[in-house]
Structure 1
Amino acid sequence: MDYQTLRRNCPIWNDYIHHNFVNQLATGTLAPDSFRHYLKQDYLYLLHYTRVMALSVYKSDTLAQMRLGQAGINAMLDLEIGMYLDFCRQWGMSLEEVENTPESAATIAYSRYLLDAAMSGSLIELYAAIAPCLMGYGEIGERLKAQGFMADNPYQPWIDVFASDEFQAITVQNEAQINELLTQAVPSQVNKLQQLFNTACRMEVNFWQMALELS
């Protein structure tokens, strides 16, 4: 079993990758309030995602696995969360406003689902649950880059982050690391791993929809 198998057997993968929120980002037609709502909610989500990565260290059996989890924590705390706060400032939102934003129902559902999977399952199950988030943004970035640069698109800086060579290289590295873990899966785990992956994809779709609907 590998990541591509999980992706290929997920019936709603394209609903996630080609969601209307993403398509509107690509064309620059997304309502600014939807983007602001997404930025604030994704900041709140990433705080919980960092806790999931901390649990991955706890669940690890080897030093290499612990270092993988540590790298994920560092990436969140030192880079990605800061990047989202930078975007928030650029779109007129202060740190105080972002931190005091109530979590949407979609944010609560998704983040707590990941935390539950991380706490109750094995390390392999944890990574199956976070794989859509870990890998999906790289695929989205690659697809939007192929569609071409739009100088007048207000969301182009966001696209550029996930389309960058640096992020694409990280995505390739993440896939290799996920595959290494998945090689340890036994046949009796396959259905559960696919279910974890599919449910996380549903949560991703709901997250985009939440941003569109300002819910």
Structure 2
Amino acid sequence: MSAALIQEGSYLDRLIRSAPEAWSAYTGHRFVAGMADGTLPEAAFRHYLGQDYLFLIHFARAYGLAVYKSERLEDMRAASAVISGILDVEMELHVKYCAGWGLSEVEMAALPEDPACMAYTRYVLERGMAGDVLDLHAALAPCVVGYGVIGQRLANDPLTRREGNPYLAWIEMYSDEEYLDLARGAAAHIEDLAARRGGEARFAELAKTFEAATVLERDFWQMGLDAVAG
């Protein structure tokens, strides 16, 4: 049986519980529901995929900032490994996946950045620049961990459509143990950083960052629906 993605009572669990409405709106968004039952308009998904390519570039930059903000060699190595994973593995997989949806890397690289993509990625970078490495990871967590939560829930839901669902591969990608291990590692890293960087005294401040980032992730889903709404 798969190990729990988020440990009950952990620092990340408390951050999630501090923003129940935002977390529910993000992880249970209509875009996500549309992937689960296969009814999401394909044009909405293509728009999301193209913006997600640009999103990954900025997330690699964010982890580059994490290297700069880290004071321990092990933290620097951990962030560097994520950068390598994004640039050398995840982006290549994303490009191959998008090719199946008729999107080439050249086309995606030339896309204008949607305001929703810009808002979240720049918010993450701003929190990292203004604060420390814990502020940065609090802003990154809704994406890194949230995708695992969504993927795992949809994969385990008997109501999720399997046969003929064009989004099943996406669900399988983010419910795969390889990705879930990455999400667990991110949660454990936040736990460690909180213990070392006065997380208890800073909880209210970090909860605001986490909630704001979660709302921006919700808006990233909405971006796809808005793109085809007219």
TM-score (norm 2): 0.90
List gaps (5 residues or longer) in structure 1. Answer: none
* Higher alpha-carbon deviation: 186-195 or 11-20: 186-195
Query: 132, 141, 147: which is aligned to 2:157?
Result: 147
Query: 152, 171, 191: which is aligned to 1:159?
Result: 171
Tell me, in whole angstroms, the C-alpha distance in 2 between the residues paired with 1:82 and 1:16: 26
Amino acid across the alignment from 1:79: V
Query: 7, 12, 17: which is aligned to 2:27?
Result: 17
Q: Give the aligned partner of residue 137 of structure 1.
A: 147
Tell me, in whole angstroms, the C-alpha distance in 1 between the residues paired with 2:226 and 2:210: 24
How far apart are 1:167 and its partner, in Å? 1.4
Q: Give the aligned partner of residue 211 of structure 2.
A: 198
How far apart are 1:190 and its partner, in Å? 1.6
Q: Give the aligned partner of residue 37 of structure 2.
A: 27
Query: 26, 37, 44: which is aligned to 2:47?
Result: 37
TM-score (norm 1): 0.96
Q: Give the aligned partner of residue 176 of structure 1.
A: 188
Pairing 1:21-170 to 2, within 5 Å after superposition? 21-148=31-158, 150-170=162-182
Which of the two has greater helix per residue?
1
Paired residues in the alignment total 215
**Residues 106 and 203, structure 1, Cα contact 8 Å, conserved in 2:** yes
Amino acid across the alignment from 1:181: L
Tell me, in whole angstroms, the C-alpha distance in 2 between the residues paired with 1:3 and 1:71: 21
Amino acid across the alignment from 2:202: Q
RMSD: 1.3
List gaps (5 residues or longer) in structure 2. Answer: 1-9
Tell me, in whole angstroms, the C-alpha distance in 1 between the residues paired with 2:124 and 2:197: 19
After superposition, what is the alpha-carbon deviation per residue over 1:81-119, rounded to whole angstroms, capped at 9, x for unaligned?
A: 222211221101111111111001101111111111111
**Runs (4+) off by over 4 Å:** none
